[in-house]
Amino acid sequence: PMGSERTEMRKRQMSTTQETPGAAQAQHSTGNRGSNACCFCWCCCCSCSCLTVRNQDEERARRTSHELQAESIPNCEESPAPTLEEVNAWAQSFDKLMLTPAGRNAFREFLRTEFSEENMLFWMACEELKQESNKSVIEEKARLIYEDYISILSPKEVSLDSRVREVINRNMLEPSQHTFDDAQLQIYTLMHRDSYPRFMNSAIYKDLLRSLSEKSIEA
C-alpha cells in the first residue's frame, strides 16, 4: 500500500511539472498578444497598438495637409517702404491705397486689428487666381478659395449675400479665373465703405504719416 501511494504521488508531481511549462508558455503568449494584438489575433484589433499607430499616421497626414494649406495663405507682400507722397495719396482714394503693395500691407495690418483680415486675403487670392492659365491649377485654387472663404464652415468665411453665393455655386461646376469676380467686387466695396474710413483715422495710418513727415523735414 505504501508503494502504491508513493507511485501515485510521483505521477501527480510529474503531471504538475508537465503542466507548469505549458501554462507558463500560454501566459507568456497571452502577454505578447496583449502588447501587439493585431499581429496574432484579429478579434483584438479594436484596441490594438497597430490600430493606434495607424490612426496616429492618418492624423499626422491630415495635420500636414492642413499646415500646407495654411502656408498657402499669402504673407504680407514684399515692397519697398512707402514714400510720404504715396501715403498722402492713400487718403485721396481707396483705389490708390489698393494699387500699391505697401498700401495693401498697411491696410491689411489695420484689418487684422479689426479681425477682418480675411477680406483682404480673399481679395488677394482672387487676384492670384486671375493670373493662372493652367486649368488644373485654376480648379485647385478655386477649390481652396471656396473652402477657405466661401464655405460656411470656415472660420475665415467672408460676408456675401445669397445672390453672389448662388453665382459662385454655379461657377464652381466649371471653375475659371473669374469664378469669384462678383464676390471679389462685393468684398472690395465692403472694405471701401466700411473699413477704409476707419483706417484713415487709425493710429496705424497717422503714425506712419507722422513718421514719414518727420523724416522728410529732417532731410
pLDDT of the residue at 68: 36
Residue by residue, pLDDT tens for the chain (219 residues) are: 544 554 555 555 555 444 444 444 444 444 444 444 444 333 444 444 444 444 455 544 444 333 433 333 445 678 789 999 999 999 999 999 999 999 999 999 999 999 999 999 999 999 999 999 999 999 999 999 999 999 999 999 999 999 999 999 999 999 999 999 999 999 999 999 999 999 999 999 999 999 999 998 886
DSSP for 102-121, written as a single string: HHHHHHHHHHHHTT-HHHHH
Query: How far is it, in rounded angstroms, from Cα 83 to Cα 41?
Result: 73
- Rounded Cα gap, residues 127 and 106, in angstroms: 18
Helices (H), the chain: 2-35, 49-72, 84-90, 94-99, 101-113, 117-130, 135-145, 162-171, 181-190, 196-200, 203-218
| C-alpha span between 70 and 112 (Å, rounded) | 17
CA distance 134 to 43: 50
Is 204 exposed, middle or buried (CB count within 10 Å of its CB: 0-12, 13-18, 19+)? middle
Rounded Cα distance between 55 and 41, Å, is 19
Dump pLDDT digits (tens) for 107-160. Answer: 999 999 999 999 999 999 999 999 999 999 999 999 999 999 999 999 999 999
Residues 6+ apart with CB under 8 A from 186: 160, 161, 164
| Residues 176, 139: Cα–Cα separation, whole Å | 7
Alpha carbon distance 106, 166 (integer Å): 33
Measured between alpha carbons, how far is 25 from 21 in angstroms, rounded to an integer?
Answer: 6
What is the Cα–Cα distance from 120 to 158, expressed in whole angstroms? 10
Go through the domains of the chain in sequence order and give each one's CATH number.
Answer: 84-218 (1.10.167.10)
Tell me the CB-side half-sphere exposure of residue 170, using CA atoms within 13 A. Answer: 9
For 11, the grid coordinates are: 505521477
Residue appearing with cell numbers 456675401: 160
Show Cβ contacts of residue 149 under 8 Å, excluding neighbours closer than 6 positions. 118, 121, 122, 125, 156, 157, 158
Main-chain phi, psi angles of 79, to 5 degrees: -160, 150
The pTM for the full model equals 0.65
Task: Specify the amino acid at residue 118.
Answer: E
